[in-house]
Chains A and B, each alone.
Chain A
């Protein structure tokens, strides 16, 4: 019984990490209709920059803040130089171009930091375990759940209670109408792109102490992130949260309770069946 509880907690925590990635990407894809494969690379950039800033400043929180800001800035640059000229082009052009960014930034990271993986330790004040119903659970993983939950609540408030959120929802539902109403759509796009980059960076930084910091680290998580936003409904942050938790829990529990190999395909079966019944995902945002 306690094992099942522990596995659910593992799934919840993994799902929350996926949510941080998915929330940014689903906005970029949903509002700008822009397929950004380089989202995983921004996750990698966040982790690498955090390691660098941590070495420089010695403070985990300072490194966290600086790395998020720097990655958001990088996102802004990518938006200006690469994304903007491509908004009107078809998806294949966007996929090719952002795939090029993946290759370029992966190799750039290798040139700067080398090909050997880097280390990011759990900050000492989060290093330890707490007793939860008889099992020792790492504090750091609980902290990830807490931070992600705070981000989810924050995003929820912004999207449902503010003017910016209203524009974001309107942009996801009907882009042309928002432009027609005289909203500075370019500013909105740039802002959403930067916030998405910042969220990807946060996810990468939180992941750094448990995952490997190395070139290409964003590629695997990107695939899961795409699964999440498709299940959740493109453009919907609420959908991303629901889908991320679903994928996290089903993946974790499936892996341990089904024979080898079956557990790994479970989330794809889930995706296929949800798309069969609800082709626009769980929480479609387009009208």
Chain B
């Protein structure tokens, strides 16, 4: 396979960049989750993602800086609670919520308090309330 040198270059790039940055950063307290290319600044990045499962939908909410990966507050709405929330919905409700998260822009998924302490649930996840 003639892909050795590009493969090596890709891996080196993938590993060296964050390691170099990590070394330069203060790591006293990790942020609530690493944000994706489209978390801020509109739609200039290619923001289309495949979102088909509750885990992928909640992962997108983390990447969009809408919810934390792991809330400091035990009752806070984070990735785990998001997955539980969608898993507890009926089939139609869950499918709507997952599709809604996949189609919305990152700004549309944010709520007051995002990402650390989102007050209400993201708009799409209100679907299914009774």
Q: Do A and B actually bind?
A: no
